[in-house]
Amino acid sequence: MSDDAISPLSGMLFLGGELTPGAGERITVENPATGEAIGEIAQATPTDIDRAVSEARTAFREWSRVTPHARAKALHRLGELIAADADGMARIMTLEQGKPLNEARGEILKLAEACHFYAEEAVRVHGEIVPNDKPGFQSLVVREPIGVVGAITPWNYPAELIGWKLCASLAAGCTIVIKPAEITPFTALAIARKVSDAGFPEGAVSVLTGKGSIVGQALVEHPDVDKIAFTGSSAVGLHIQQTCPRIKRLSLELGGNCPMIVTATADLDMAVAGATRRGFRNMGQICIAINRIYVERSIYENFIAALAKSADALVVGNGIEAPDADVGAMASAEPLTKTREHLADALDKGARLLAGGAAPEGEAFARGHFFRPTAVADCTHEMKVMIEETFGPLVGIAPFDTLDEAIALANDTPYGLASYAYTRDLFEVQKISAELDYGNVAINNVDAGIMNAPYGGRKQSGVGYEHGREGLLEYFNFKHVRLFHGVS
Ligand code: TAP
pLDDT tens digits, one per residue of 433-481: 999 999 999 999 999 899 999 999 999 999 999 999 999 999 999 999 9
Residues 70 and 128 in one domain: yes
In a domain, 112, yes or no: yes
Percentage of the chain surpassing pLDDT 90?
A: 98
Residues 197 and 265 in one domain: no
Find the 68 Cα to ligand 1 centroid distance in Å.
Answer: 31
Mean pLDDT score, 305-311: 98
Q: Is the CB of 216 under 6 A from ligand 1?
A: yes
Q: Is the CB of 160 under 6 A from ligand 1?
A: no
Residues 354 and 233 in one domain: no
In a domain, 487, yes or no: no
Find the 236 Cα to ligand 1 centroid distance in Å.
Answer: 7
Rounded mean pLDDT of the chain? 97
User: Whats the size of the chain, residue-wise?
Assistant: 488
Q: Is the CB of 182 under 6 A from ligand 1?
A: yes
* N-to-C CA span, the chain: 75
Which atom of ligand 1 is least distant from the CA of 462?
Answer: 41
Which atom of ligand 1 is least distant from the CA of 211?
Answer: 47
Look up the CATH number of the domain holding residue 406: 3.40.309.10
Find the 432 Cα to ligand 1 centroid distance in Å.
Answer: 30
Which atom of ligand 1 is least distant from the CA of 455?
Answer: 40
Q: What's the total number of domains in the chain?
A: 2
Distance separating alpha carbons of residues 367 and 215, to the nearest angstrom: 30
Q: Is the CB of 287 under 6 A from ligand 1?
A: yes
pLDDT (tens digit per residue) in 182-215:
999 999 999 999 999 998 999 999 999 999 999 9
Among residues 370, 390, 366, 363, the alpha carbon closest in space to that of 379 is found at: 390
In a domain, 485, yes or no: no
| Single-letter amino acid, residue 57 | R
Question: Closest residue (by CA) to atom 11 of ligand 1?
Answer: 212
Asked if the model's pLDDT at residue 305 lies above 60, the reply is yes
- The counts of H helices and E strands in the chain are 15, 22
Residues 277 and 417 in one domain: yes
- Report CA 243 to chain centroid distance, whole Å: 22
The catalytic residues are: 253, 287
Mean pLDDT score, 270-281: 98
pLDDT in the model for residue 488 = 86
Q: Is the CB of 254 under 6 A from ligand 1?
A: yes
Structural domain boundaries enclosing 229: 7-254+461-478
State the maximum Cα–Cα separation within the chain, in Å, rounded to a whole number. Answer: 83
In a domain, 488, yes or no: no
Q: Is the CB of 205 under 6 A from ligand 1?
A: no
Residues 421 and 325 in one domain: yes
pLDDT in the model for residue 264 = 98
In a domain, 234, yes or no: yes
Residues 242 and 267 in one domain: no
User: What is the reported pTM?
Assistant: 0.97
Q: Is the CB of 457 under 6 A from ligand 1?
A: yes
Distance separating alpha carbons of residues 384 and 76, to the nearest angstrom: 44
Residues 90 and 194 in one domain: yes
Which atom of ligand 1 is least distant from the CA of 334?
Answer: 25
Question: Closest residue (by CA) to atom 40 of ligand 1?
Answer: 253
Helix axes 297-312, 268-280, angle to 10 degrees: 50
In a domain, 455, yes or no: no
pLDDT (tens digit per residue) in 128-161:
999 999 999 999 999 999 999 999 999 999 999 9
Asked if the model's pLDDT at residue 1 lies above 80, the reply is no
pLDDT in the model for residue 451 = 95
Look up the CATH number of the domain holding residue 224: 3.40.605.10
Half-sphere exposure of residue 433: CA atoms within 13 angstroms, side-chain side: 12
Residues 371 and 469 in one domain: no
Distance separating alpha carbons of residues 294 and 422, to the nearest angstrom: 10
Among residues 36, 29, 332, 56, the alpha carbon closest in space to that of 186 is found at: 29
Find the 36 Cα to ligand 1 centroid distance in Å.
Answer: 23
**465 touches 474 (CB < 8 A):** yes
pLDDT in the model for residue 192 = 97
pLDDT in the model for residue 427 = 98
Residues 46 and 22 in one domain: yes
Distance separating alpha carbons of residues 461 and 440, to the nearest angstrom: 11
Find the 253 Cα to ligand 1 centroid distance in Å.
Answer: 9
Neighbours of 462 (CB within 10 A): 27
Q: Is the CB of 153 under 6 A from ligand 1?
A: yes
Among residues 306, 284, 340, the alpha carbon closest in space to that of 422 is found at: 306
Find the 255 Cα to ligand 1 centroid distance in Å.
Answer: 9
**212 touches 152 (CB < 8 A):** yes
Residues 211 and 355 in one domain: no
Asked if the model's pLDDT at residue 43 lies above 90, the reply is yes
Which atom of ligand 1 is least distant from the CA of 457?
Answer: 41
What letter would DSSP give residue 315? P
Question: Closest residue (by CA) to atom 17 of ligand 1?
Answer: 213
Predicted confidence band of residue 2 (pLDDT cuts 50, 70, 90):
low
pLDDT (tens digit per residue) in 78-97:
999 999 999 999 999 999 99
Mean pLDDT score, 314-325: 97
Which atom of ligand 1 is least distant from the CA of 179?
Answer: 9
Predicted confidence band of residue 3 (pLDDT cuts 50, 70, 90):
confident
In a domain, 64, yes or no: yes
Residues 17 and 163 in one domain: yes
- Nearest 10 degrees: Cα torsion 149, 153, 158, 161: -60
Residues 241 and 294 in one domain: no
Find the 334 Cα to ligand 1 centroid distance in Å.
Answer: 13
In a domain, 191, yes or no: yes
